Amino acid sequence: MKKRWEHAAACAALSALALLAGCKPQPQPQPQPQPQPQPQPQPQPQPPAPQAAIANPASEYCVKRGGRLETVNEADGAKGVCHLPDGTAIEEWTLYRRDHPA
């Protein structure tokens, strides 16, 4: 009977081990990091085309005095005429030199 008791105890121990082995927690899969979308490079705005750095000082002076500019084409080339508010029409460089003596 002692043998039977040892046999039953051994079977019970093996059964308990088998049950405990089946209850072992399963490893959880590690979440894979999702690739982050890369920001698309933004196109850089193009700088404006270079402009003439200095305006014609005689033309600027005419407008500053309240005049209106007109370009007149003559046989020897084009010239700028300044029409002043008082009705006077004068070549823009003549007006400038008259009022800005050297």
Give domain limits for the chain: 57-99
pTM to 2 decimal places: 0.47
Contact residues for 69 (Cβ-Cβ < 8 A; gap 6+): 59, 62, 63, 80, 81, 82, 83, 92
Predicted confidence at residue 68, as pLDDT, reads 96
The predicted-structure confidence for 66-100, as pLDDT tens digits, reads as follows 999 999 999 999 999 999 999 999 999 999 999 99
**pLDDT score of 46:** 79
Per-residue pLDDT reduced to its tens digit, 25-73 = 667 777 777 778 787 877 777 777 766 667 899 999 999 999 999 999 9
Residue 3 binned pLDDT confidence (cut-offs 50, 70, 90) = low
